[in-house]
Amino acid sequence: MNQKEIAEIRRRFQPDKNAIANLRGCYVNEKREIVSAFDRPLMSLPQEEAEKYLAFFRRALTGLPGKNLLTLTFRPDQVMDGEEHALLTALRNTELKVDEGVERLYRRIIDSLNMDSNYLILLAHDAYDIPYRGRDGLKVDDASEEVFHYFVCCICPVKLTKPALSYDASDNEFHDRELDWVVTAPQLGFMFPTFDDRAANIYDVLWFSRDTEDVHGELIDALFNLDSPMPAQVQKETFQQIIEDAVGEDLSFDVAESVHEGMCELIEAQKQDKELPAPVVTKADVKRVLQEAGVPQERVDAFDEQFDQEFGVNTDLGAQNIVEPKKFEVRTPDVVITVNPERSDLVTTRVIDGMKYILIEANDAVQVNGIGIHIS
């Protein structure tokens, strides 16, 4: 799913736009015990309460594709007769109305998930009457051709509130507030099936992880029998290490600057096409950038080999996982310099009298701890 499609589904979780009949969920304690389970008609809830539930589902569809939102793809044999895919399909087809299937899903989550707090599992099925879009891109609400059936699951930590003073209007005084358990924003979640090219794609699951460093591979394996994707932070660190190892002594400031600029140009070019998924970087893209930066071919070949070893052949990386377009930083053990990425030309390196220096052009106003200074 691209960002446009994700946003279209996320907008469904508004009080006046969804076709959700019931909300299902269960509350799990630290002993992996179900404390309570519920199946409530959404329309029976007070408006403010219903909106809070819908907000949790929206949050589980929020983030950057390839970073917080990851596409997991089933193998063809799993779609044909895989146990995991069969369960998801049954949950979707029965609109979460069959207790046995819902309870099996709960059990798989509870038995495998490693979470250091109590948590709430929430489920909602929606039927989206997909509006027809003409060649001009305009939406025609009364010309629907298909209904998209899907469900969303989100897992929200439940945490104890902190001690605090609270105002009691009845006696016009402040008192110590009683501790209470509060549902917090989703930590994990998924949507099945995905919404690709304005239709259901039963081969894919959209996985949400608020923590980009830990996507909870143990739960992905239990629910889908799939290998978990490399977390965004691990992708970034691995990519940086490959560049350092492969380019070696030829990795100058100018080369690092060229790699950053090249990656940013790729991201910007792909962002122009709203129909594309998240921007990606291929091995060929990075090799071209290294060659244009003047890196010797043997170093480029070394990068080629190490990339395949770490990421696999023909693997694309999330562009925004390996480079931050709005950030350009120069760091030593004792100094951190943050530079406007569009003005990285103000920074250079020099060796003067055998000492290595980072030089910054400072012809404009210079401040030290907020105080303007003069350089003479």
Interval 116-136 mean pLDDT? 86
> How many angstroms separate the CA atoms of 210 and 353, rounded?
49
Strand, coil or helix: what is 264?
A: helix
The pLDDT score that the predictor gives to residue 181 is 83
Interval 46-65 mean pLDDT? 93
The pLDDT score that the predictor gives to residue 133 is 67
pLDDT over threshold 70, residue 138: no
The pLDDT score that the predictor gives to residue 94 is 96
Interval 183-204 mean pLDDT? 95
The answer to whether the Cα torsion of 315, 317, 322, 327 is positive or negative is positive
Quick one: DSSP state of residue 159?
E
pLDDT over threshold 90, residue 56: yes
**DSSP, residue by residue, 54-111:** HHHHHHTT-S-BTTTEEEEE--HHHHHH-HHHHHHHHHHHTTT--HHHHHHHHHHHHH
Distances (CA, A) of 302 to 258, 287, 348: 18, 10, 27
pLDDT over threshold 60, residue 137: no
Instruction: Identify the residue whose tokens are 């940013």.
Output: 264
Please give the mean pLDDT across all residues of the chain: 89
Six-digit token pair at 352?
Answer: 């003067």
Interval 96-109 mean pLDDT? 96
Six-digit token pair at 23?
Answer: 């909300």
The pLDDT score that the predictor gives to residue 277 is 72
Asked if 327 and 342 touch (Cβ cutoff 8 Å), the reply is: no
pLDDT over threshold 90, residue 224: yes
What's the pTM?
A: 0.82
* Confidence band for 354, pLDDT divided at 50, 70 and 90: very high
pLDDT over threshold 90, residue 218: yes
pLDDT over threshold 70, residue 144: no
Interval 157-178 mean pLDDT? 79
More confident residue, 177 or 245: 245
* Confidence band for 121, pLDDT divided at 50, 70 and 90: very high
The pLDDT score that the predictor gives to residue 265 is 87
The pLDDT score that the predictor gives to residue 365 is 87
The pLDDT score that the predictor gives to residue 106 is 97
Mind listing the pLDDT tens digit for each residue in 197-212? 889 999 999 999 999 8
pLDDT over threshold 90, residue 109: yes
> How many angstroms separate the CA atoms of 330 and 311, rounded?
27
The pLDDT score that the predictor gives to residue 135 is 56
Interval 82-111 mean pLDDT? 96
Distances (CA, A) of 223 to 57, 207, 370: 19, 11, 53
Amino acid at 328: F
More confident residue, 168 or 295: 295
Interval 269-293 mean pLDDT? 83
* Confidence band for 89, pLDDT divided at 50, 70 and 90: very high
